[in-house]
Structure 1
Amino acid sequence: MWKTILRRILIMIPELIILSVIVFIISKQLPGDPFTGSISPKTSPEQLHHLMKLNGLYDPWYQQYWNWVVHLFHGDLGTSYEYQEPVSALIASRVVNTFWLALLTMIMTYAIGLPLGLYAGRHEGKLQDTLVRIYSYMTMSVPFFVVLVLGCWIFGYGLNIFPTTGSVSPTANGFFPVLFSRLYHMILPATLGALFATSGITQYLRSGVIDAKNSNYVKTAKAKGVSTKNIYKHHILRNALLPIAAFAGYSITGLLGGSLFTEQIFSYPGMGLLFLNAVNFRDYTVMTALVLLYGFLSLLGTLLSDIALSVIDPRIRVK
């Protein structure tokens, strides 16, 4: 399997190169520039022209791309036009916030979704199953940004239980105060994101459990006198988790990419908010680096999903 993983990683290289070229061309076609209005409203056209020329923005796109690649191989992703700091340092400062929010959201998503799906599938057609399905349909039918806005308004402004902006309180000093403050800021957005994300996991696992418990090998195990607990643990759950494992890699890398809605509504300084600001301010260097990172995460998600499938079901091999 290690040879296959290495081969898949090598295949990512030309895919990322093609992606970087496409992103570079599209970003240069966006109207506007990174300097107009960002320095001073009184900046003269001559000064803007000088800045554009100084930064090579008048060069042909292929020349700009080549210069970007040369700097990339030297470990330089460029300097942000908006924040005036190295792109690598800017992303590194935001990826920490996104990672912790993504980790908490993912833990809560699976902690809620897996028991609900298993519970609904085990009680198919009963009241318990109906209640879980109603919950799933409600979370699927309501737009995500509506859930975020309502949660922010009710628990943030109405009840004033959780903070609605930032990632750490300015008054927090020391390791443990900063840790608790960071966790406190993440609870509300992570909970809302988890509640929204559990619907897919719940429905997939419920369907998997229903299919598995009606299969011949489960009926055979029951006929042999195997306990219900062992049947669900060793036969039903393993096979029902296959659809969940198929999307696990995408879920992990998708969360690491940051949520535009969550980070925008809660003013959470993560990767999603950074990308949105980069598009708004035509920060080409940040845009290109982030899209390339997102592309890598998507390809990595595919590989992780395949590996997870092969771990759960040894009959499946990564090819």
Structure 2
Amino acid sequence: MGSWKAFVLIRLVRLALVLAGVAVVAFLLAKLSPVDPIDAYLGPDIARVGPEQRALIAQKWGMDQPAGVQFAKWFSSILTGDLGWSVTYNASVADVISERFRSSIVLMGLAWLFSGIIGFSLGIWAGANPGRWSDRIIRLYAYVLAATPTFWIAILLLIVFSVGLRWTPVCCAAPIGVLPEDVTLLQRLHHLLLPLAALSILGIAQIALHTRVKMIEIMQSDFVLYARAQGGTTLDIVLRHGVRNAALPAITVLFASLGELFGGSILAETVFSYPGLGSATIEAGLRGDVPLLLAITLMTTLFVSIGNTIADVLYHVADPRISSASETWREVSQ
């Protein structure tokens, strides 16, 4: 019990330090950005706004103060739960993130789930049959798509299925002109199909490659040779020995890929005009919406850090030898 308390405490301290470091770096990058927030906010009206009005806007936003003072006020507001105001959407940052996150979590959650299940299954199959035609096909698929940009996959799917075959919608999360309360579940799934496919295809490749390598190592181990000598079939060995041992690297890669999944969702949502957190990130960057951009950055950091922590916990649960080795090392060092 004490080891788990220490583990949680260390993780919380590390998370706090990471968030503080990301906040500093993100704020500095926002200040060094060539996009002027006031110019981006004014847009076409910039020619009709004089220096005095620009100064009033800067004063209202607190941009007339030194960078250190701006950071201190912003960071103190973050600690009190005030994420600021988004000039892009003319709403509080908390409301924008809450609304957009509900759309993105469905897309990213399903893509993450499908990537794990399908990628792990393909990796197990390829690793259990190395060198066969099925293994070659899976490796070719994984190697090609692992090096393929998400936006290229999204554009290709859009051209083939939406423009060419006209099986799927071209954009958005619901039919254009339909009120949100009138949109059916089937219509939402229809619009979700292509963005989900674009995100899942790339995630499957990474999980499959890592699982295949581990599965080949397992199939060449001594206990598998012993199981074969006792008359065990390949299917029986895979189900009894391979799945659990191969799950360890798959779990790690799956949870560690949350950051890449969010990055991919930004590109996929942009291509399909999907109103999620990814498209909000692009809009915040183009419009110089610093409060929204910084809040999304911190939220993404928290999201990825929690995913990595869950991966560590599951790793210890799946393989108790890791916990035993850590406790033994702690006793020896004392």
Which of the numbers 105, 108, 114 marks the counterpart of 2:111? 105
Q: Is contact 1:172–1:181 with CA below 8 Å preserved after alignment?
A: no
- Distance in 1 (CA, whole Å) between partners of 2:133 and 2:190 is 35
Which of the numbers 12, 18, 23 marks the counterpart of 1:20? 23
Structure 1 pair 163–289 and aligned structure 2 pair: CA distance change class (3 A): same
Q: Say yes or no: does 1:267 pair with 2:273.
A: yes
Q: Say yes or no: does 1:92 pair with 2:98.
A: yes
Q: Percent identity?
A: 29
Secondary structure in 2 aligned to 1:268? coil
Aligned positions, number = 318
Amino acid at match of 1:96: R
Can you give the 5+ residue segments of structure 2 that lack an aligned partner in the other structure?
327-334
Q: CA deviation at 1:173?
A: 5.9
Residue 30 of structure 1: aligned partner: 33
Which of the numbers 68, 72, 90 marks the counterpart of 2:74? 68
Structure 1 pair 146–253 and aligned structure 2 pair: CA distance change class (3 A): closer
- Distance in 2 (CA, whole Å) between partners of 1:269 and 1:116 is 32
Secondary structure in 1 aligned to 2:125? helix
Which of the numbers 151, 168, 173 marks the counterpart of 2:174? 168
Residue 6 of structure 1: aligned partner: 9
Amino acid at match of 1:273: S
Q: CA deviation at 1:142?
A: 3.2
- Distance in 1 (CA, whole Å) between partners of 2:134 and 2:70 is 60
Q: CA deviation at 1:45?
A: 2.8
Q: Is contact 2:207–2:254 with CA below 8 Å preserved after alignment?
A: no
- Distance in 2 (CA, whole Å) between partners of 1:178 and 1:254 is 30
- Higher relative helix content: 2
Q: Is contact 2:40–2:287 with CA below 8 Å preserved after alignment?
A: no
Which of the numbers 81, 86, 98 marks the counterpart of 1:80? 86
Structure 1 pair 73–239 and aligned structure 2 pair: CA distance change class (3 A): same
Which of the numbers 291, 298, 321 marks the counterpart of 1:292? 298
Trace 1:151-166 onto structure 2 (pairs within 5 A).
Answer: 151-166=157-172
Structure 1 pair 258–30 and aligned structure 2 pair: CA distance change class (3 A): same
Q: Is contact 2:157–2:198 with CA below 8 Å preserved after alignment?
A: yes
Amino acid at match of 2:171: T
- Distance in 2 (CA, whole Å) between partners of 1:173 and 1:43 is 37
Q: Is contact 1:254–1:298 with CA below 8 Å preserved after alignment?
A: no
Secondary structure in 2 aligned to 1:36? helix
Q: Is contact 1:113–1:201 with CA below 8 Å preserved after alignment?
A: yes
Secondary structure in 1 aligned to 2:59? helix
Q: Is contact 1:23–1:291 with CA below 8 Å preserved after alignment?
A: yes
Q: TM-score, normalised by structure 1?
A: 0.92
Q: Name whichever of 141-150 and 197-206 sits farther off.
A: 141-150
CA root-mean-square deviation: 2.1
Secondary structure in 1 aligned to 2:86? coil
Q: Name whichever of 82-91 and 45-54 sits farther off.
A: 45-54
Amino acid at match of 1:154: V
Q: Name whichever of 139-148 and 259-268 sits farther off.
A: 139-148
1:221-271 deviations in whole A, cap 9, x for unaligned?
Answer: 222344443321121121122211111222245435662210110111111
- Distance in 1 (CA, whole Å) between partners of 2:146 and 2:178 is 38
Q: Name whichever of 45-54 and 164-173 sits farther off.
A: 164-173
1:93-127 deviations in whole A, cap 9, x for unaligned?
Answer: 00011100011212222232122212212221111
Q: Name whichever of 303-312 and 279-288 sits farther off.
A: 303-312
Amino acid at match of 2:33: L
- Distance in 2 (CA, whole Å) between partners of 1:121 and 1:8 is 34
- Distance in 1 (CA, whole Å) between partners of 2:96 and 2:132 is 52
Q: Name whichever of 271-280 and 138-147 sits farther off.
A: 138-147
Q: Say yes or no: does 1:307 pair with 2:313.
A: yes
Which of the numbers 46, 53, 63 marks the counterpart of 1:57? 63
- Distance in 2 (CA, whole Å) between partners of 1:138 and 1:256 is 21
Trace 1:202-241 onto structure 2 (pairs within 5 A).
Answer: 202-241=208-247
